[in-house]
Chain A
């Protein structure tokens, strides 16, 4: 029997407000433990939460960017459970009237267009952070965990997808697109290493062709895309094995263990999912006007699809190239600035970015927001070629050197003596030497073998360490060989 994997993702994204969702404490990451807290986010009795207007706007903006419908009426509910990182013993979340519903994300997977539906997006508060001794953290005592409430109350949106994904790699493609759209919407810092984006992953399997869903398991709080992919692959394989052996899948929460590469069933109370939601009486409901929604929509930044179409239209780029450039906001911004500084040939700029720039960055595993060359330096390099100061070949050397040292291309050309040799008398001498040293190719060329010319040009370039102006070399060689 063959099996099909069914995946749904609940993605939690921290919004980039200055202050928390229901109180004025700072959301800054990395502060000393429990220095960004107050009665509200510590869950002290009598404290009154008040919604951060900016969090509501960011959430609405994200929902619109993900093609959702914004609710006319929405409210907050209490999700009740006990855990030490949750000081009130309930999380303020949204249950039956979420902020937004019925969205979708379009992306390309395996060369094919795919659409994953978004079931809902709601606002909620983040929990505090637990530090365990094995994390090498502050707690050396193996019997206690330490709680830092700085993160308690940081605004989150939870983006719940329909179970439309079918493989780990497809889930990765969806997450990448989601992250790109959220970056363009400018609602989150999206720093994976700071936990700005975490996913709960629901996985089930069913016989191929079946229309019913199997029992699913849930992996909570997976904090890297790689772990999501590996977790899905492991979990699908595990479930198939259990079912093949005649067993059954238990609906449970499992934890992905990155080091061991396995999922482990969490020892959880049977009824852990009984959250007893009820409306939070501390928070008045949201009556969301169309004016508010249209105001947010009007201020929505340009989104990746629109930018891709614009690059094709305005710069004449191929759709696939525009797609790669716009898949990353920093890369797109770099390209656009460089193209602005070198308006005569945006395609050449795109080729450099997609070719040499990405190659060097990939080799260094650099993040795209740390591009080690400025758009101006790229534009200057291209202008050096135009002016005949350096050859296209030398330009690559200069470009690499700029990426490595940060020095301006003009400085590198000067320091390394890379100025192109266009002086005919100097080149004529080199050409005479090359002709003398290579009688056979010279004879070949004279007997009509045109390809021999390429070899001879190569020899001249080699003798000048790539600095000869290839156009002039060609011209002079032809003349000398006649």
Chain B
């Protein structure tokens, strides 16, 4: 698979990254190199091998009891918010 400049722009856009002209070039090059390596892995015969959905394959079914424990006080929760109002996080308006 070949990564094009448009693909980099698209992914950057989805990730809300603003890239300079040089960075876009660099990303295109590096992503292609990474995918080249993955392509190499694709040459391996993996018939009959279970997909690795999780790196900790032996760790399964980790759950907790349904119990309420107070988390953060509101002042603490809002402490690092760039903007807050009426006990809420204030963000740029989202709906027209």
Cβ contact within 8 Å between A132 and B95: yes
Q: Which of A7-24 contact B (CB under 8 A)?
A: 17-19, 23-24
CB nearest to B56 among chain A residues = A284
* A139 proximal to B (CB < 8 A): yes
Q: Mark B23-54, 1 if CB is under 8 A from A, else 0.
A: 00000000000000000000000000000011
* A83 proximal to B (CB < 8 A): yes
Cβ contact within 8 Å between B88 and A138: yes
* A412 proximal to B (CB < 8 A): no
Stretch of A28-36, A345-353, A464-472 that contacts chain B:
A28-36
Cβ contact within 8 Å between B62 and A55: no
* A281 proximal to B (CB < 8 A): yes
Given contacts A25-B68, A139-B85, A271-B14, contact A84 B74 (CB under 8 A): no
Q: Mark A57-93, 1 if CB is under 8 A from B, else 0.
A: 0000000000000000101000010111000000000
Cβ contact within 8 Å between A37 and B77: yes
Q: Which residues of B contact A97 (CB under 8 A)?
A: 53
Cβ contact within 8 Å between B64 and A284: no
How near does chain B come to A366, taking the closest CB pair, in angstroms? 32
Cβ contact within 8 Å between A286 and B68: no
Cβ contact within 8 Å between A287 and B60: yes
Cβ contact within 8 Å between B96 and A146: no
* A26 proximal to B (CB < 8 A): yes
Cβ contact within 8 Å between B83 and A144: yes
Q: Which residues of B contact A34 (CB under 8 A)?
A: 74, 77-78, 87-89
| Distance A54 CA – B67 CA, assembled complex (angstroms) | 10
* A481 proximal to B (CB < 8 A): no
Contact of B54 among A41, A42, A75, A147 (CB under 8 A): A75
* A480 proximal to B (CB < 8 A): no
* A371 proximal to B (CB < 8 A): no
Cβ contact within 8 Å between B66 and A285: no
Given contacts A18-B68, A53-B65, contact A284 B54 (CB under 8 A): yes
Interface size on A, residues (CB 8 A): 58
Q: Which of A119-152 contact B (CB under 8 A)?
A: 130-132, 138-139, 141-149
| Distance A267 CA – B62 CA, assembled complex (angstroms) | 40
Cβ contact within 8 Å between A19 and B85: no
| Distance A82 CA – B16 CA, assembled complex (angstroms) | 8
Cβ contact within 8 Å between B89 and A146: yes
Q: Which residues of A contact B68 (CB under 8 A)?
A: 18-19, 24-26
How near does chain A come to B22, taking the closest CB pair, in angstroms? 24
Given contacts A41-B71, A132-B94, 7 further A-B contacts (CB under 8 A): A19-B69, A24-B69, A33-B87, A130-B95, A139-B90, A146-B85, A274-B10
Cβ contact within 8 Å between B14 and A274: yes
CB nearest to A155 among chain B residues = B66
Cβ contact within 8 Å between B66 and A55: yes
* B63 proximal to A (CB < 8 A): yes
Q: Which residues of A contact B66 (CB under 8 A)?
A: 17-19, 52-55
* A276 proximal to B (CB < 8 A): yes
Q: Which of A232-282 contact B (CB under 8 A)?
A: 267, 269, 271, 274, 276, 279, 281
Residue contacts A-B, CB under 8 angstroms, 18 given: A19-B67, A24-B68, A24-B69, A24-B71, A26-B68, A40-B71, A53-B64, A56-B63, A73-B53, A139-B85, A144-B92, A145-B93, A145-B94, A147-B88, A147-B89, A271-B14, A276-B14, A286-B61
How near does chain A come to B81, taking the closest CB pair, in angstroms? 9
Q: Which residues of B contact A84 (CB under 8 A)?
A: 89, 91-92, 94
Cβ contact within 8 Å between A149 and B89: yes
| Distance A132 CA – B93 CA, assembled complex (angstroms) | 8
CB nearest to A138 among chain B residues = B86
Contact of B62 among A41, A142, A284 (CB under 8 A): A284
* A309 proximal to B (CB < 8 A): no
CB nearest to A77 among chain B residues = B53
| Distance A75 CA – B57 CA, assembled complex (angstroms) | 12
* B1 proximal to A (CB < 8 A): no
10 closest Cβ pairs, A-B complex: A38-B71, A146-B88, A54-B66, A24-B69, A53-B63, A138-B86, A84-B91, A147-B89, A284-B59, A287-B60
| Distance A265 CA – B72 CA, assembled complex (angstroms) | 39
